[in-house]
Amino acid sequence: MVKKLSHYDADGRAGMVDVSSKQPTRRKATASAFVAMSSAVLKDLPKNPKGNPLEVARIAGIQAAKRTAELIPMCHPLPLSFIDVVTQQRTDGIAILATVTTTAATGVEMEALTAASVAALTIYDMCKALDNAIVIRDLRLETKSGGKSGDYKR
């Protein structure tokens, strides 16, 4: 069976999917990203003159999830029930995990991906003065649950 892209009509015009006939269900999605950086930058994280980059990134990710529909043209504005952004320092960088839940007629994958990506960008912004070679990589959906298409786990 060939899947079709849902954001295009028969004439190939982009548009928002009509979810008005779908029943609201509990939806949850988790996305991750990784910010690779040198050990020297990692060592200097606590001394950052802009503040704690990991805490600022956590808050930025939460804010970003709430504004996803303003950033991604075909995303529906959703009543988000919960947003959590966790950062973990590793030997080669910072791992980010963003989880978003709602009870709605459509899923929250884009909100979780937006939260993880903006958290990663915030870390980059706060640390770029120390090293321009920082790399954001591996932005991806880890899990999703709820909805017609069922559960997904990477």
Residue 76, helix vs strand vs coil: coil
Cβ 23 vs Cβ 105: under 8 Å: yes
| Beta strand spans in the chain (E) | 25-36, 80-90, 93-104, 135-145, 152-153
- The yes-or-no answer on residue 125 being catalytic is yes
The distance from CA 84 to its chain's CA centroid, rounded to whole angstroms, is: 10
Length of the chain: 154
Q: Give me the catalytic one of 9, 125, 131, 138.
A: 125
Instruction: Give the residue ranges of DSSP H helices in the chain.
Output: 39-44, 53-66, 68-71, 109-127
What does the angle CA 71 – CA 76 – CA 80 come to, to the nearest 5 degrees? 90
Q: Which residues are catalytic?
A: 125
